[in-house]
Structure 1
Amino acid sequence: MLKNQPQRPAVRAVNAAARRATAAPARRRGTLRWVAAVALCLALAGCSTAGAGAGSKPGVALRDAVVLEDPQAYVGPSTAVLNSPDLDPLDSPQEQVLPATVTDSQGTTVTVADTSRILAIDLYGTTARTVFELGLGANVVGRDVSSGFPEIAGLPLVTQNGHELSAEAILELAPTVIITDSSLGPWNAVLQMREAGIPLVVVDSHRSMDNVGPLIKQVADALGVPADGDRLAARTADAISAITAAIAGITPPDGRKLRMVFLYARGQSGIYYLFGPGSGTDSLITALGGVDVAAETGMQGMQPLTDEALVAARPDVVLMMTKGLESVDGVDGLLTSVPSLAHTPAGEKRRIVDMADNDVLSFGPNTASVLEALSVAIYAPASTSAAVAG
Structure 2
Amino acid sequence: MKALLLGVLAACAVMTVQAETADTLVIGNDLAEIVERLGGTSRLVGRDDSSRFPQAIANLPSVGYMRQLSAEGVLALKPQRLLISDAARPAIVLRQLSGLGLEVLSIARGKGVGDIPAKIEQVAAAMNLQAQAQPLLDEQRQLAGQLAKTPALKGPKALFIFNHAGMTPLIMGQGTEAQAALAQAGIENCATFNAYKQVAAEAMVSLAPDFVIVSRAGLAALGGEDNLWKLGGLAHTPAGQHRRLVQVDDQALLNLGPRTVQAMLQLRQDAGALFP
TM-score, structure 1 as length reference: 0.57
Please give the per-residue CA displacement for 1:3-36, whole angstroms capped at 9, x wherever unaligned.
xxxxxxxxxxxxxxxxxxxxxxxxxxxxxxxxxx
Query: Alignment partner for residue 202 of structure 1, among 106, 112, 119?
Result: 106
Structure 1 contact 236–368 (Cα < 8 Å) conserved: yes
After superposition, the Cα gap between the structure-2 partners of 1:275 and 1:322, relative to the gap in structure 1 and judged at 3 Å, is same
Q: How does 1:52-67 map to 2 (within 5 A)?
A: none
What CA distance in whole angstroms lies between the structure 2 residues aligned with 1:289 and 1:357? Answer: 17
Aligned CA distance change for structure 1 residues 310 and 233 (closer, same or farther; 3 Å)? farther
**How far, CA to CA, are the matches of 2:34 and 2:21 in structure 1?**
14
**TM superposition shift of 1:188:** 3.8
Q: How much identity, in percent, do the aligned residues show?
A: 28
Choose 1 or 2 for highest CA Rg: 2
Aligned length: 254
Report the CA distance between 1:114 and its aligned residue.
Answer: 10
Q: Which amino acid aligns with 1:280?
A: E
1:120 aligned to which of 5, 26, 43: 26
Distance 1:184 1:201 in 2: 11
Aligned in 2, Cα 1:366/1:209: closer, same or farther, shift over 3 Å?
A: same
Following the alignment from structure 2 to structure 1, what is the Cα–Cα distance between the partners of residues 143 and 118?
Answer: 16
Contact 2:110 2:116 in 1 (8 A): no
The runs of 5 or more residues in structure 2 that have no matched partner are: 1-18
Confirm or deny: 8 A CA contact 2:47 2:60 kept in the other structure: yes
Q: Partner of 1:131 in structure 2?
A: 35
Return closer, same or farther for 1:230/1:293 CA change in 2, 3 Å cut-off.
Answer: farther
- 1:211 Cα deviation from its structure 2 partner: 2.2
Query: Equivalent of 1:320, from 214, 221, 225?
Result: 214
Shift, 1:258, TM fit: 2.5
Deviations 1:342-390 (A, max 9, x none): 2221122222322234323122112233124324433447xxxxxxxxx
Relative distance call for 1:211 and 1:115 in structure 2 (3 A) is farther
Q: CA shift at 1:206, angstroms?
A: 4.3
- Could you tell me whether the CA contact under 8 Å between 2:38 and 2:132 is conserved in 1? yes
Q: Which has the higher helix share?
A: 2
Question: Contact 1:120 / 1:180 at 8 angstroms: preserved in 2?
Answer: yes
C-alpha distance in 2 between matches for 1:115 and 1:187: 27
Q: Does 1:290 align with 2:187?
A: yes
The partner residue of 1:274 within 171, 174, 178 is 171
| 2:226 partner letter | D
Alpha carbons of structure 1 residues 217 and 313: separation in structure 2 relative to 1, 3 Å: farther
Aligned residue for 1:151, secondary structure, equals: helix
Change in 2 beyond 3 A, CA 1:378/1:239: same
C-alpha distance 228-207 of structure 1, shift in aligned 2 (>3 A): farther
Does the alignment pair 1:341 with 2:234?
A: yes
Tell me the residue number matched to 1:37: none
Instruction: Provide the residue aligned with 1:141 in structure 2.
Output: 45
3-state DSSP of counterpart to 1:274: strand
Structure 1 portions without partners, runs of 5+: 1-112, 382-390
> Partners of 1:132 and 1:118 in 2: how far apart?
12
Q: Indicate conservation of the 8 Å contact 1:209/1:280, yes or no.
A: no
Aligned residue for 1:315, secondary structure, equals coil
